[in-house]
Amino acid sequence: MFHGFRDEMIGLPEATLRVRHGGSGPPVLLLHGHPRTHATWHRVAPILADHHTVVCPDLRGFGRSTIPEDTRDHRGSSKRAKARDCVSLMSRLGFERFAVVGHDRGSYTAFRAAMDHPAAVSHLAILDGVPILEALERCDARFATAWWHWFFFAQPEKPERAITADPLAWYGGSAEQMGDEAYAEYRAAIRDPRVIHGMIEDYRAGLSMDRHHDAEDRAAGRRLACPALVLWSLRDDLQDIYGDVLEVWKPWVAGALSGKGLDCGHHMAEEAPDQLAAEILAFLRSQ
């Protein structure tokens, strides 16, 4: 897994991140979702590494990276804080400007990195996500039924108690889908109560700090300056809930916006790695 990549713990001003990086060429940062680690990219990263320097961290609060200190406002788990980690990490590796791809919860950190640090982010790819503010403001019975976990995870203590009782039963996943080594990394992460807490705090920040930051951006008229690619899984529910996903994104993007649905389930990096890598490469080449 990740043949030829370096595997390091990299200390940054606010956190220490576990990072795999390799390849050569223009840099691209890949951000995983919940409840995965950086290992979810192990089938995509080597394809991209033929043309790019590829950086795959465990986000703060996930995998082997720093678990943020608890605060009442969940500030340490905000996407703004995680975006600062991303910019610091890439600078530490020698890159002041880079492309970023984010899946699921990682898409919110990718979005925040591009919004808060426009000089640093050259391209933004969002996989299976819309802005948190849009999701909450458009919330209806259909959303609440399908994405009920957003609101359960926001409750104190109970989510952690439920998940730690049997993490594998809660989250699912298999070596067949993920690959043996990636599955081993995933199992180790979700069996660690500290990591479970860090992952749940990501959701608590989503309904508080992150929502507030999105609202501030919209009120100030801030929009994404870089080209944006949005991809979604046709076998998941994003299109069912929002219809035209690109229409949701249009008010947030000042630059070029493109996207499409992929014929796969939610974990597209594991289920359709060749197609996903091809879409990312085409996007980075065309802009």
Give me the residue spans of the domains in the chain.
6-286
Instruction: Give residue 286's pLDDT.
Output: 86
pLDDT in tens, 112-156: 999 999 999 999 999 999 999 999 999 999 999 999 999 999 999
pLDDT in tens, 85-96: 999 999 999 999
Which entry of 85, 104, 217, 236 is annotated as an active-site residue?
Answer: 104
- CATH architecture, domain 6-286: 3-Layer(aba) Sandwich (3.40)
pLDDT in tens, 218-243: 999 999 999 999 999 999 999 999 99
pLDDT in tens, 5-59: 999 999 999 999 999 999 999 999 999 999 999 999 999 999 999 999 999 999 9
pTM of the model as a whole: 0.98
pLDDT over 90 at 287, yes or no: no
Looking at residues 146-173, what average pLDDT do you find? Answer: 96
- What is the overall mean pLDDT for the chain? 97
Looking at residues 253-282, what average pLDDT do you find? Answer: 97
Instruction: Give residue 103's pLDDT.
Output: 98
61 Ramachandran zone, left/alpha/beta (phi>0; psi -120 to 50): left
Tell me if residue 104 is catalytic. Answer: yes
